Amino acid sequence: MSAIENVSRRGFLKGVVSAGAFVLSVRYLPESLHAEGLPGNTRIDHAAFHPGIFLGIEPDGTVYIVAHRSEMGTTSRTSLPLILADELDADWKRVRLEQALGDERYGSQNTDGSHSIREFFETMRKAGATARLMLTQAAANQWKVSPDECKADLHTIVHTATGRKLGYGELAAAASKLPVPKPEDLKFKPKSAWRYIGKGSPSYDLPQVVTGKAVYGMDARMDGMVYASIERPPVLGGKVKSFDDKEALKVAGVSRTVSVEPFQGAWGFQPLGGVAVIANNTWAAFQGRKKLRVEWENGPNAGYNSGAYRKELQEKSRTAAKVARNHGDVDAGFAGGGKIIEADYYVPHLAHAAMEPLVAVAEFRNGKVAAWAPTQNPQAVQETVAKACGIAKDDVICHVTLLGGGFGRKSKPDYVAEAALLSKKVGRPVKVVWTREDDIRFDFYHSVAAVYMKAAVDSSGKPTAWLQRTVFPPILSMNNPNEDHAADFEMGMGMTDVPFDIPNLRVENGAASAHVRIGWLRSVSNIYHAFAVQTFADELAHAAKRDPVDYMLDLIGPPRIVDMAGVANPNYGGDYEQYPNDTGRLRKVLEMAAEKSGWGKRKFAKGAGMGIAVHRSFLTYVANVVEVQVSDDGTIHIPRVETVVDAGLVTNPETARSQFEGAAVFGTSIALMGSITATDGAIDQSNFNNYPVARMKEAPVRTNVHLVESDAPPAGIGEPGVPPFIPALCNAIFAATGKRVRELPLNKMKLV
């Protein structure tokens, strides 16, 4: 097998960085990638002291902690182990992380939905406290004193009366012989004693990333592997009618072509099907694929045209639909007089477009599969690959590399199933590499949506009746193509959980069928719901000739817990008593954002202005003030963003701020340029030339992130920064130009 070595930027970095660079002691890729034996984390499962599945301590004092969530820039891989290390009182410099395989022992491994810290904060604390208690007992036994006379102090146990010390490594063997304490016997460190939680720490992987040594999906290799590039049906549900591979097989390096069967029934995470070109390097596979001649049977979705579908959704949004929340008597409120204000909002399909396109390598051997992939959910990989290959889930081993971005796309493992299926057919390990064009044309798209807003307002401009209706093809269509109404969790993202103090309020959801694969994207249906609700609120404020901040505070009403009785709302999976919809916290971030931005205290030149929006999502409260400058030709410049965040207890403030800075850039991409369209069922966009993302000249110049000190439990960080940014930007454009934005994306034609 020949190999092509590229002189890449990463390769250059590896060559010039000094030998003194920090090197991880746990390798992602062993010399042989063949997965032998049972799945597990060898260093931890076989450590001298391993009181639980997340932790192991060796006699030299090295602490190994399992990172069971995936790393794609959100630093879950750093922050979760940091919690355990703090409760253990371990020296972070002596901690080594081991990336978990897909394994149900760890509970959920799905790095999605902004719930990693929220879901595992207490679990990590318990793991650390358990080990600390056992180490303390082991030291007390050796000194023949009461454990109450001993305390942990940075990787050592100290006898407070005499000052004697024993390191964790010295105590590992003795501690391993003690019974694991019961949860009720654990004693947690007080907040005042925390070393790492709430203090801020850079990503554990940062040294590897900046020196080019970090291992991503594209870096994974297996002995004897071949490469595959797949020509997929251009229309969802399409099938190969016939194909001619004569010219493809003439390309140097191409060995064969292989048919990939189309999905059966609901598409779920199944491969789309098509024809794979197998070669000994990616370039040959790509070139051979270009030479394929495929005739397609496109199926019923060939009639899908996004322009016509948009009109269909907007018509439905103007028609009475399924009621999802009803408070008071909206019809009587509208009939009771007052000015009626209506508005229609529209957001197109969006693609994930992560920096790293999809890639996976897998080997099917002896009825088992070993795979390496940049996945957000290795357990979903196990389930999907097992079903595709007709084997047991336990016979699938999934190794997780670093992810070059994800935004939700890499929790859908169709690409890993492709590699496993091809390996089964070819009899060798297969690496499937998606091009950027594949990544954009065959995505699980963020849903297109039409939202209708209507309000009756009194003489002061305050709403007496409020109706909001949303229509979009739901995520659940992936498991049931006939599903045409939103799931409760989708409606709970900015629709049924609207926090306004209005006497008569109704929320409705219209039916919409999917014609492309629909999936979750960073912040999910909050994107179009926050855009509609927060922009409409700004419209009402200006119609009433009131300041938008004062008007929004009136809409939210007094501090209270929003009554969600009778509403099917999973509250992002959080217990409502622990995570109530608290308008006091919402008001606070709004007021702080106004204060930090100097709201109402500045005068802007022509074409400049500020806009504000506030939204609760993923149990976190966020307010944005966006400042814009709009040039005469419609070009939008964003000099400053002020973001205020109440996410409860923030484990790692440094990386939390980076997530909200990134959310402003992500939101800029959506607002200014994000749009996926379809003609005759096929996606029109293919690369960054026609699906651009924000570059430096479009991105906000400065984003200031202010974290609210809070005793509330941890909430989401990765996603809640996106929803309020978009309406704040659009409201700023109105303030600057007098032109109201009701559809995305923005472009020059709409502003000149």
At 337 the pLDDT is 87
C-alpha separations of 698 from 98, 544, 665 in Å = 38, 33, 9
Pairing of strands 636-646, 703-707: parallel
Average of per-residue pLDDT across 681-700 = 97
Cα–Cα distance between 49 and 580 in angstroms, integer?
40
Residue 36 sits at the vertex; the CA angle it makes with 30 and 37, to the nearest 5 degrees, is: 130
Give one DSSP letter per residue of 363-428, joined into a string: EEETTEEEEEE--S-HHHHHHHHHHHHTS-GGGEEEEE-B-S--TTGGGSTHHHHHHHHHHHHHSS
4: which 2 tokens?
């092509």
Same fold for the pair 32-210 and 306-350+444-751: yes
Convert 321-334 to b/e letters by CB count within 10 Å (16 or more is b). beebbebeebeebb
703: which 2 tokens?
């984003």
Question: What's the half-sphere exposure (Cβ side, CA atoms, 13 Å) at 330?
Answer: 17
Question: What's the half-sphere exposure (Cβ side, CA atoms, 13 Å) at 138?
Answer: 27
**Residue-wise pLDDT tens digits, 9-55:** 555 445 544 333 222 223 233 333 332 333 455 678 889 999 999 99
Mean pLDDT of all residues belonging to the chain: 93
Q: What is the largest CA-CA distance in the chain?
A: 83
CATH of 306-350+444-751, one of 3.40.50.2300, 3.10.20.340, 1.10.150.120, 3.30.365.10: 3.30.365.10
For residue 441, which of 691, 683, 687 has the smallest C-alpha distance? 683
Cα–Cα distance between 701 and 679 in angstroms, integer?
36
Q: CB neighbours (10 Å) of residue 145? A: 16
**Residue-wise pLDDT tens digits, 518-565:** 999 999 999 999 999 999 999 999 999 999 999 999 999 999 999 998
Cα–Cα distance between 507 and 509 in angstroms, integer?
7
Domain boundaries, the chain: 32-210, 217-300+358-433, 306-350+444-751
At 527 the pLDDT is 98
Residues 455 and 471: beta-carbon distance below 8 Å: no
Residues 641 and 618: beta-carbon distance below 8 Å: no
Average of per-residue pLDDT across 112-124 = 95
235: which 2 tokens?
């229309």
Q: Where are the alpha helices (DSSP H) in 414-547?
A: 414-426, 436-441, 488-491, 526-543
Q: Is the pLDDT at 448 greater than 90, yes or no?
A: yes
CATH domain 217-300+358-433 topology: Aldehyde Oxidoreductase; domain 4 (3.30.365)
At 456 the pLDDT is 98
Q: Is the pLDDT at 646 greater than 90, yes or no?
A: yes
CATH domain 32-210 topology: Aldehyde Oxidoreductase; domain 4 (3.30.365)
Give one DSSP letter per residue of 650-692, joined into a string: -S-HHHHHHHHHHHHHHHHHHHHH--B-EETTEES--STTTS-
pTM above 0.85, yes or no: yes
Residues 487 and 474: beta-carbon distance below 8 Å: yes
Average of per-residue pLDDT across 297-312 = 97
